């Protein structure tokens, strides 16, 4: 028998300031679901996640939670208060389990966190990992994550993908990181214009689903336009003589107008995108930056050791590496802001740099959006040498006129990033330096940013942990591997993975060896016959289970199945749960045998 959902919403409605944020929301979270929640900035994704968590009560509708279900959340802006990281994470344990400190130590170790540090002194990436540790330590049944990859480095994102893929509970996650969502999700919730659509496929299938939905809406709008023209023609001929008989038709016409208006509003919203453009300013010299054998140390630690590169006009270079490896330091070295301990950095001629700081230090939190863009002078913004009214320019970056006097501190993370981009792109520049520009941006704005940067005629240096963004944009990657090891690779992130040298296995700590006996058996050099046969058969088993799961998910996606054949629905749901468990077990067994085979072959 199919188990009931762990968490569900039924016909939920929520308004802010009298304006509906969403209404008629009916959805559910089942055991083992891995759901991504997508939608534009400001559409209400974070609010919907809080409604699911029970942190915000809906105006109407019902929220159901299965008794005994444990929920953990990762908010977009967590409150990191506490005497130490360890104490902050321990607070995520249920009251009755606070003595199980080994769980705290395990999750701190997995996320490479120092439990003795003060949360207030953590960097953005460390704070994000600490808040994630607090959510994971409780071993929840349902995990609700809002932008978990923000400020995280690539090794931590890869670890998180593996952890969430192996997570036995249910997951709902909001993220702008396409590659991350493609890896972890199996279902998709799409929030747009106050409506929530659900698909039983993961994010990889979302672009095609989105296009199909928009095409269907276009067709419906065309049908409505034709019907409306016919009804208006009928109305023009007069209805007085047939008043009683035709009042119903007149009311239907009014309803058609209303429905068409709503569909047209949704269509207009779906095409409402930020208008990003950059002026590459005057042409810089052909050689932009030349670094020769540069070295830099901080407090005895080697950050860069003997790195050389030449950056030519028009190059698009991505900088990657773990948090703390020195990406920002290398940026400062290459742009002449920081002097190397040894080696030389030469800058080209006629450079006009513009810098996007991931901490948004250029934004005064007390200033309004208007004053930030105009520098407090009048009502015009000088955009690439031409005056524009500040409200019109704001709208290019998806700000409403009502937000003109809103202080920066009241804006969301995505809105602050858009404001900083608006400020940055108004000025001519031929060298763009972007430090984590993709954080908090919705995917549509991210697409436009990529297109704008691809057409930018100047030179680009960008620090990012977004693999998809790097693959689409950069022409080479500078990787900081730690301990001063800095290397440059042609192509994007995927090309870097193919070209980088094989990593030496980490040293394994062993117990002190005991004296060996005079004779010892010869160690095995290959798998046993039984294990070898099992390893050969497992790929076929994995493929068969994956195919069966896909068919069952398609079968259960039929919304009328439960009403038509309840027994069949329950049987299919039970088999789906069993097949997923079998697939997970088979994958673990294949990994175990393959690892053993490789170790024996050495």
Give me the pLDDT at residue 507, please: 41
Bridge partners for 433 per DSSP: 355, 461
More confident residue, 487 or 443: 487
Report the CATH fold assignment for 529-601: Helix Hairpins (1.10.287)
Give me the pLDDT at residue 65, please: 94
Give me the pLDDT at residue 419, please: 87
- Please state, in angstroms and as integers, the Cα–Cα distance from residue 81 to each residue in 137, 142, 278, following that order: 17, 24, 40
Task: List pLDDT tens digits, range 333-360.
Answer: 999 999 999 999 999 998 888 888 766 7
Give me the pLDDT at residue 545, please: 83
Segment 511-525 mean pLDDT: 40
Q: What share of the chain is helix, strand, coil (3-state, %, to 5)?
A: 45, 20, 35
Segment 318-347 mean pLDDT: 91
Give me the pLDDT at residue 26, please: 93
Same fold, 7-208 and 287-499: yes
Give me the pLDDT at residue 237, please: 54
Strands of the 353-356 sheet, one edge to the other: 353-356, 431-435, 459-463, 316-320, 476-482, 485-490
Give me the pLDDT at residue 437, please: 85
Segment 228-246 mean pLDDT: 53
Segment 90-113 mean pLDDT: 90
Structure letter (DSSP) for residue 407? B
Tokens coding 99: 């003595």
Instruction: Tell me how many degrees the CA angle 94-100-103 measures, rounded to the nearest 5.
Output: 95
Give me the pLDDT at residue 254, please: 56
Where does 34-116 have alpha helices with state H?
A: 45-53, 85-90, 101-110
Report the CATH fold assignment for 7-208: Rossmann fold (3.40.50)
Give me the pLDDT at residue 543, please: 82
- Do the Cβ atoms of 310 and 317 come closer than 8 Å? no
Tokens coding 82: 């506490």
More confident residue, 341 or 125: 341
CB atoms within 10 A of CB 554: 11
CA distance 211 to 208: 5
Bridge partners for 305 per DSSP: 295
Give me the pLDDT at residue 259, please: 56
518 membership: H or E segment, kind and range: none
More confident residue, 247 or 392: 392
- Domain residue limits, the chain: 7-208, 210-270, 287-499, 529-601
Segment 469-481 mean pLDDT: 91
SS3 track for 113-134: CCCCCCHHHCCHHHHHHHHHHH
Segment 69-78 mean pLDDT: 91
More confident residue, 184 or 537: 184
Give me the pLDDT at residue 515, please: 35
pLDDT band at 518 (very low <50, low <70, confident <90, very high): very low
Question: Residue 240 pLDDT > 60, yes or no?
Answer: no
Give me the pLDDT at residue 76, please: 85
Instruction: Tell me how many degrees the CA angle 429-435-438 measures, rounded to the nearest 5.
Output: 100
Segment 442-465 mean pLDDT: 84
The percent of residues above 70 in pLDDT, for the chain, comes to 82
Task: List pLDDT tens digits, range 197-218.
Answer: 999 999 999 988 988 887 777 7
Segment 128-149 mean pLDDT: 93
Residue with structure tokens 């249920």? 94
Highest-scoring range by mean pLDDT, 252-256, 383-387, 591-595: 383-387
Segment 276-295 mean pLDDT: 79
- Mean pLDDT is lowest, of 68-72, 125-129, 241-245, 486-490, for 241-245
- Do the Cβ atoms of 378 and 322 come closer than 8 Å? no
Which residue from 452, 485, 446, 482 is spatially nearest to 464, judged by alpha carbons? 446
pLDDT band at 315 (very low <50, low <70, confident <90, very high): very high
Q: Please provide the DSSP assignment of 408-475 as one string.
A: GGGS-HHHHHHHHHHHHHTS--SEEEEESTTTT--HHHHHHHHHHHHH--SEEEEE---HHHHHHH-S
Give me the pLDDT at residue 521, please: 41
The percent of residues above 90 in pLDDT, for the chain, comes to 33
Taking each helix axis from N to C terminus, what angle separates 243-270 and 206-236, rounded to the nearest 10 degrees?
150
More confident residue, 440 or 110: 110
Which residue from 15, 90, 104 is spatially nearest to 57, judged by alpha carbons? 15
The backbone torsions φ and ψ at residue 126, rounded to the nearest 5 degrees and listed phi first, read -65, -40
What residues contact 48, with CB distance under 8 A and at least 6 apart? 22, 25, 37, 191, 196
CATH superfamily of this structure's domain 287-499? P-loop containing nucleotide triphosphate hydrolases (3.40.50.300)
Give me the pLDDT at residue 448, please: 76
The span from the first CA to the last CA of the chain, in angstroms, equals 48
More confident residue, 508 or 368: 368
Where does 303-442 have alpha helices with state H?
A: 327-334, 369-374, 390-396, 413-425
Task: List pLDDT tens digits, range 270-281.
Answer: 444 566 666 556
Question: Residue 385 pLDDT > 80, yes or no?
Answer: no
What residues contact 371, with CB distance under 8 A and at least 6 apart? none
Give me the pLDDT at residue 424, please: 83
Predicted TM-score of the model (pTM): 0.68
Question: Residue 261 pLDDT > 70, yes or no?
Answer: no
Give me the pLDDT at residue 516, please: 33
Question: Residue 301 pLDDT > 60, yes or no?
Answer: yes
Task: List pLDDT tens digits, range 392-449.
Answer: 888 888 788 888 899 988 887 778 888 888 888 888 888 999 888 887 777 877 887 8
Give me the pLDDT at residue 510, please: 36
- Please state, in angstroms and as integers, the Cα–Cα distance from residue 321 to each residue in 153, 213, 245, 291, following that order: 7, 39, 74, 19
């Amino acid at each position: 028998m199919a188990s009931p959902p762990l968490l569900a919403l039924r016909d939920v409605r929520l308004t802010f300031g009298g304006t509906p944020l969403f209404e008629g929301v009916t959805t559910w979270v089942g055991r083992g679901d891995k759901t991504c929640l997508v939608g534009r900035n400001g559409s209400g994704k974070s609010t919907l996640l809080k409604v699911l968590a029970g942190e915000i009560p809906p105006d109407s509708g019902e929220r159901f939670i299965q008794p005994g279900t444990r929920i953990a959340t990762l908010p977009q802006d967590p409150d990191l208060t506490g005497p130490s990281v360890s104490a902050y994470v321990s607070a995520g344990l249920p009251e009755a389990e606070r003595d199980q400190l080994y769980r705290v130590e395990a999750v701190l170790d997995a996320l490479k966190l120092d439990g003795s540090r003060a949360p207030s002194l953590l960097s953005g990436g460390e704070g994000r990992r600490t808040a994630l540790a607090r959510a994971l330590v409780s071993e929840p049944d349902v995990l609700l994550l809002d932008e978990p990859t923000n400020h995280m480095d690539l090794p931590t994102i890869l670890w998180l993908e593996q952890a969430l893929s192996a997570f036995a509970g249910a997951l709902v996650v909001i993220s702008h990181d396409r590659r991350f969502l493609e890896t972890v999700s199996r279902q998709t919730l799409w929030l747009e214009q106050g409506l929530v659509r659900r698909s039983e496929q993961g994010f990889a299938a979302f672009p095609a689903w989105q296009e199909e939905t928009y095409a269907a809406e276009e067709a419906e709008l065309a049908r409505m336009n034709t019907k409306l023209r016919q009804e208006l023609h009928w109305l023009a001929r007069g209805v007085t003589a047939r008043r009683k008989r035709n009042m119903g038709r007149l009311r239907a016409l009014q309803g058609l107008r209303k429905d068409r208006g709503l569909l047209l509003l949704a269509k207009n919203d779906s095409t409402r995108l930020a208008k990003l453009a950059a002026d590459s300013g005057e042409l810089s010299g052909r050689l932009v930056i030349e670094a020769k054998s540069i070295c830099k140390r901080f407090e005895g630690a080697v950050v860069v050791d003997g790195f050389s590169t030449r950056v030519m006009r028009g190059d698009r270079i991505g900088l990657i590496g773990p948090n703390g490896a020195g990406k920002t330091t290398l940026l400062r070295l290459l742009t002449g802001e920081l002097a190397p301990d040894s080696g030389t950095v030469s800058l080209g001629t006629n450079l006009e740099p513009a810098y996007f700081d991931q901490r948004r230090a250029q934004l005064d939190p007390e200033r309004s959006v208007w004053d930030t863009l105009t520098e407090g002078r009048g009502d015009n913004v000088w955009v690439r040498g031409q005056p524009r009214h500040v409200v019109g320019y704001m709208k290019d970056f998806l700000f409403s006129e009502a937000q003109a006097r809103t202080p920066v501190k009241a804006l969301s993370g995505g809105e602050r990033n858009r404001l900083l981009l608006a400020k940055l792109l108004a000025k001519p520049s031929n060298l763009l330096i972007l430090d984590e520009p993709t954080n908090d941006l919705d995917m549509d704005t991210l697409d436009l940013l990529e297109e704008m940067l691809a057409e930018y005629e100047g030179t680009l240096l960008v620090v990012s942990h977004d693999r998809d963004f790097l693959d689409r944009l950069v022409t080479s990657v500078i990787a900081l591997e730690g301990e001063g090891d800095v290397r440059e690779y042609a192509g994007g992130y995927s090309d870097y993975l193919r070209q980088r040298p094989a990593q030496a296995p980490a040293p394994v700590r062993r117990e002190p060896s005991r004296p060996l006996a005079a004779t010892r058996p010869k160690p095995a050099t290959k798998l046993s016959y039984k294990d070898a046969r099992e390893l050969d058969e497992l790929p076929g088993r994995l493929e068969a289970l994956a195919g069966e799961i896909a068919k069952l998910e398609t079968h259960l996606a039929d919304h009328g199945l439960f009403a038509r054949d309840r027994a069949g629905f329950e049987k299919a749901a039970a088999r789906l749960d069993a097949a997923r468990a079998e697939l997970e077990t088979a994958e673990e067994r294949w990994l175990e045998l393959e690892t053993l085979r490789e170790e024996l072959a050495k």
